[in-house]
Chain A
Amino acid sequence: MHTRQKWNRVKEFFIEWLIRICGISAIIFVFGIFFFVFKEGAGFMFTKWDPVQFFTSIEWYPTSVSNKRYGILAIIAGSASVTFFAMLIAIPFSLGAAVFISEFCGPKWKEVLKVIIEFLAAIPSVVWGFIGLMIMNPLIIKIFNAPIGLNVLNGGIILALMSIPIIVSISEDALKAVPDSYREAAVALGVTKWQMIYRVLIPAAKNGLLAGGLLGVGRSIGETMAVLLATGHAVQIPNGPLDSVRTLTATIAAELGETEQGADHWQVLFIIGIFLFSITFVINLIAYLVVKGIRIQAGES
């Protein structure tokens, strides 16, 4: 009897510590990655870096023989425009899909639709890029009479299709979490189904829907392979959705292989990495604060 109790206590101790380490490991990995990226770019950052030129100049000439310039404004505009366009397409679609699955579907269709949407997430991003390059390119040229089909529109559509599974998943969970009593109360008051969804359910599921949307944004900003192939990889500020652009992620992916370790170009690419990391961090922080703010508001009212 005594040995059994002792053995249980030891087991408890070890399992608790194992789980604790797993939990903390996430923090360790995030800090580890941040320090690694920071260390690689730090040399250039504290000596020859000109932050004004970096963030306000559109001239990106890292391999110039005569005049090296490191300005990423056009590339930031590229990332921002493609993400914005992707969210413009993805969020209404995802919301609609989530509402449909959660409110209008029978149980059999619900499972089928959820599985099919998950398939969208399983497609490798390089295949998405290939679809953008080979299928959407001539299609966009024909439909919009554009000079070239590799542009913000192409990248935006591809990114939207990639983010939809994530946003639908989370939004559908958020809608499912709204208690049935809300729905019953609304119906008892005599509203139509659409009024119930629009005025009761969506405001009640605000937290989850916002979290899903921001996760989609995070996914779109970080996507590399698909935008590398589908956006035309051109350093310029787009004048409209039919212009080619280049994203921050594609720049790093395309140019890191050519530089020697420790060269200026290498370090500048890592500074871009730090910048991307910070953007994602800020987005997640905003998401957390907004969700917390909504909660406080809800708590007070």
Chain B
Amino acid sequence: MNKHIKLPKALALATFAGVMAVFMTGCGSQSTNDGAQGEAGDDQIMIQNAGSDTMVNLAQAWAEHYATVNPKVSIEVSGGGSGTGIAALINGTTDIANCSRAMKDAEKKKAKDASGKDPKEHIMGFDALAVYVHKDCPLDEISLEQLAEIYGENGTITKWSQLGITIPGCDSDEIIRVSRQSSSGTFAYFREAVLGKTRDYKLGSRDMHGSKEVVELVQTTPCAIGYSGMGYATPEVKMLKIAKSAGETAYAPSVENTIAKTYPIARPLFIYSLGEPEGALKEYIDWCFGPEGQKIVADSGYVTLSN
């Protein structure tokens, strides 16, 4: 092809100028914002909040409500799992870490070594860990030992027929275990509460990245079983009642059973800060403990402290 369409030089220059202008306006508004803040002396305080995926929706709801209470403070929420939050606290990249499991002693020591301050634990509420199955699954209850044999290393239960049921839509009869990624506090808590401290998970479980993803996968997979916070339930899945051991009464994951401590796998939800919180951080945490913050805890599907 020898025919070239020559863009007139003026048109090319105009396009270039236009693109540059767009970039400049972007830069411009940024600098005026900074300038205004610096001059007025009003700092926009930013609090970094990283960690648990179980608590990420709760933390986001807190952050959004708190923005209306105190617009000068903005809370940046991110997930990644309790382990990620703790690592960020140790590395100094976050102000508070959400955790759905307690910090280990080794982690507390590392945080103290890195920052000189002991991590302070705040319990924000309680969560019942629900075991989800597809809504067509005929199973209604399960014992902790059976769960350990399904999920644990060298566990013997691999087929639904071993539990005495068949699921319509699951022809292979295989139990598809849905789990969480290893940085998750939910992962660590389930391991400790159900498998026992020294037993590991069986390999081959589908390790999802968030509490919601577990429920979504169970929702679309008739053969699946998964564990996640009870606040993530949808009409397409069923929560199993859990019995401490075979033959004992099985309890459903609900607010009442968590308060009564009859549901076997309920855990506290933590927020960790480095040392005693001060200033804006202290105000925020106190607000979360207060009636407004606790109302949001209840609305998100968790159990509040006052109970």
A interface, CB within 8 angstroms of B: 58-67, 74, 137-138, 141, 145-150, 228, 232-236, 244, 246, 254-255, 257-261
Contact = CB atoms under 8 A, between A and B. Distances in A.
B198 A66 contact: yes
A261 B182 contact: no
28 contacts: A58-B203, A61-B200, A63-B182, A63-B187, A63-B188, A65-B192, A65-B198, A66-B199, A67-B198, A67-B200, A137-B220, A138-B220, A147-B172, A148-B176, A149-B220, A150-B206, A233-B208, A233-B209, A234-B205, A234-B207, A235-B203, A235-B204, A235-B207, A244-B204, A257-B84, A257-B87, A260-B87, A261-B91
A259 B221 contact: no
Contacts of A60: 203
B197 interface: yes
A62 B182 contact: yes
Interface of B: 80-81, 83-84, 87, 90-91, 110, 170-172, 174, 176, 181-183, 187-188, 191-192, 197-201, 203-209, 217, 220-221, 223-224
Contacts of A141: 220-221
Which of A137, A146, A257, A259 lies at the interface centre, i.e. has the most chain B CB atoms within 10 A of its CB? A257
Contacts of B220: 137-138, 141, 149
A263 to B, nearest CB: 9
Binding site secondary structure of chain B: mixed
B80 A257 contact: yes
B172 A59 contact: no
The 3 closest A-B pairs by CB, nearest first: A258-B183, A258-B83, A236-B204
Nearest to A142: B169
Given A148-B221, A258-B81, A59 B198 contact: no
Which of B172, B204, B208 lies at the interface centre, i.e. has the most chain A CB atoms within 10 A of its CB? B204
B223 A65 contact: no
B102 to A, nearest CB: 13
Contacts of B200: 61, 64, 66-67
A257 B197 contact: no
Given A62-B182, A63-B182, A149-B221, A236 B174 contact: no
A233 B83 CA distance: 18
A256 to B, nearest CB: 9
Contacts of A233: 181, 206-209
Contacts of B187: 63
A260 B90 contact: yes
